[in-house]
Amino acid sequence: DSGVTQTPKHLITATGQRVTLRCSPRSGDLSVYWYQQSLDQGLQFLIHYYNGEERAKGNILERFSAQQFPDLHSELNLSSLELGDSALYFCASSVDKGGTDTQYFGPGTRLTVL
């Protein structure tokens, strides 16, 4: 158990819908990262928040957005869903924002878009 929690574990929805994925970082961690894992794209970085502020963006679609709240939990919002958005979405957390910090991954949310 990494100490990072993600809800829900599974999500099944239809095209065009909007969903929210939730992540609670390990106690004391200020950074939260979101990654997408799919068969065709592999593991891809989406976005990084540090202490409530966006620090870096990766291959995140405009239909996707995220935020980190004052209690440091984070939410990833996916809208106008397409079949290709079906994937595993991981959240990771780390203590700080430096390059050597270990990122601890949550168990993931499996999104299926029908």
* Residues at the interface with other proteins (CB under 8 A): 2, 4, 31, 33, 35, 42-45, 48, 55-56, 58, 90, 92, 94, 97-108
Which CB, 70 or 99, lies closer to other proteins? 99
Unique residue bearing structure tokens 């440091």: 72
DSSP string, 66-93: EEE-TTS-EEEEE-S--GGG-EEEEEEE
Minimum distance from residue 109 beta carbon to other proteins (Å): 10
14 or 56: CB nearest other proteins: 56
Q: Minimum CB separation from other proteins for residue 30, in Å?
A: 11
Between 45 and 79, name the residue whose CB sits nearer to other proteins.
45
List Cα–Cα distances, 58 to 14, 64, 94, in angstroms: 25, 12, 17
Q: Which residues, at least 6 apart from 98, have a Cβ–Cβ distance to it below 8 Å?
A: none
Of 56 and 83, nearer to other proteins (C-beta) is 56
d(CA 96, CA 76): 20
Q: Which two tokens stand for residue 93?
A: 């957390």
CB of 34 to other proteins, least distance (A): 11
